[in-house]
Amino acid sequence: MKLSAAITRFVADVCAGKTNETPETYRKKLHKLLDGLGDREVGRIRAGDLERFRASLLSQAGKRNGAARSEAPLSPWYIRGVLKTVRHLFRWLYDRRLVPRNPAAALKLPKEPPKNPKPIEPDTFDKLLQAASTLGEEWEHARNVAFLCLLRDSGGRLGGLLKAQIADLDLPAGVLVTMEKSGQLRTLLFNDPTRDALRAWLERRNLIHPRGEFLFIGGMGKSKGRGLTPSAVYNVLRRLAKMAGVEGQRYNPHSFRHAFARDSIMAGADLSEVSQLMGHSSIVVTADYYARYLPVELRKVHQRTSPGRQIKLPGMEDCGGKGGEV
């Protein structure tokens, strides 16, 4: 069996019934392997071939924010994702006796990098929102403002928002039901500013395309009336970032989700509450990926919460609480 055929069968089997982005994600990662090894017989792929493929990933340059290829290496997270999928493919092939041995059994993953905070900064969001209110035609203003507000306010994943339909939206209740990568329904909540932005968008949306199911649609050319795609969202964000002068800042869709989690925790929500708001399967995921803070943020938390604030040093009562000053 050729590698291309094996990839097709693997994705069809392990992603059977899934309508989210997982099948396409698997295909993209495994086509990286196809590009590296060529479309050879899977039974003739050896451990050394996969080690050389791993080495090539570690030396390749990647892209940043959709820009042209740079000299920066591929992200360690991306490389880990590709290699984990390669290991899954060959384990699947071996379990079904489609290959005589598993050449990926000893394939090592790069060391997991630190999970540093990756939220969009409040100032960056404010500038994007201001740009969204002026860039393009009036229907674009309304759509882009509503989309940015929903990203910031709900903690929703991009895939879920793009699949959302008008019938899934309850404006008075501040609720949007989405289907995300797990294939399960998730309830997103939003506040009054986002409700107002969505109401303004729906009024414009009905003028450009009164029929159709998707909540967020294109309004021109072949995309008119069709649901927005991830690439369309990234294009919009790049245009807004350029206009707002924040091209060098973090503004990808997942940075909104990261900011939602961190800001909620900093505002006093506990990990259990945030985990449910984020739609995580476990509180461990929330803690591991989102409850990560910069030293300056931890300093503020410490100053606000530490019992050390109440310490009274003997003989320092007359110093106005400024112990240690001379």
* Containing structural domain, residue 265: 122-288
Cα distances (Å, whole numbers) of residue 183 to 11, 160, 179, 206, 321: 16, 10, 6, 29, 56
Within a domain: residue 62? yes
What is the total count of domains within the chain? 2
pLDDT digits (tens, 9 = 90+) for 90-105: 999 999 999 999 999 9
Domain final position from 80, 95, 110: 95
Within a domain: residue 265? yes
* Whether the Cβ atoms of residue 176 and residue 195 lie closer than 8 Å to each other: no
Within a domain: residue 313? no
Q: Are 79 and 174 within one domain?
A: no
Per-residue pLDDT for 144 more than 50?
yes
Residue type present at position 2: K
Within a domain: residue 70? yes
Q: Are 91 and 128 within one domain?
A: no
How far is residue 151's CA from residue 168's CA, in Å, rounded to a whole number? 16
> Coil, helix or strand for 60?
coil
Please name the residues in contact with 107: beta carbons below 8 A apart, sequence gap of 6 or more: 47, 50, 51, 54, 83, 86, 87
Give the domain CATH number at 213: 1.10.443.10
Q: Are 156 and 260 within one domain?
A: yes
Q: Is the pTM of this model over 0.75?
A: no
Give just the sign of the alpha carbon dihedral 235, 186, 29, 256: positive
Within a domain: residue 101? no
Q: Are 141 and 189 within one domain?
A: yes
Per-residue pLDDT for 48 more than 60?
yes
Q: Are 275 and 132 within one domain?
A: yes
pLDDT score recorded for residue 296 = 78
Within a domain: residue 318? no
Q: Are 162 and 283 within one domain?
A: yes
Give the domain CATH number at 52: 1.10.150
Give just the sign of the alpha carbon dihedral 13, 17, 18, 23: positive
Q: Are 226 and 283 within one domain?
A: yes
φ/ψ (deg, to 5) at 176: -130, 125
pLDDT digits (tens, 9 = 90+) for 158-202: 989 999 999 999 999 999 999 876 667 889 999 999 999 999 999
Q: Are 91 and 126 within one domain?
A: no
Q: Are 153 and 245 within one domain?
A: yes
Within a domain: residue 29? yes
Please name the residues in contact with 118: beta carbons below 8 A apart, sequence gap of 6 or more: 250, 254, 255, 258
Domain final position from 25, 60, 95: 95
Q: Are 89 and 150 within one domain?
A: no
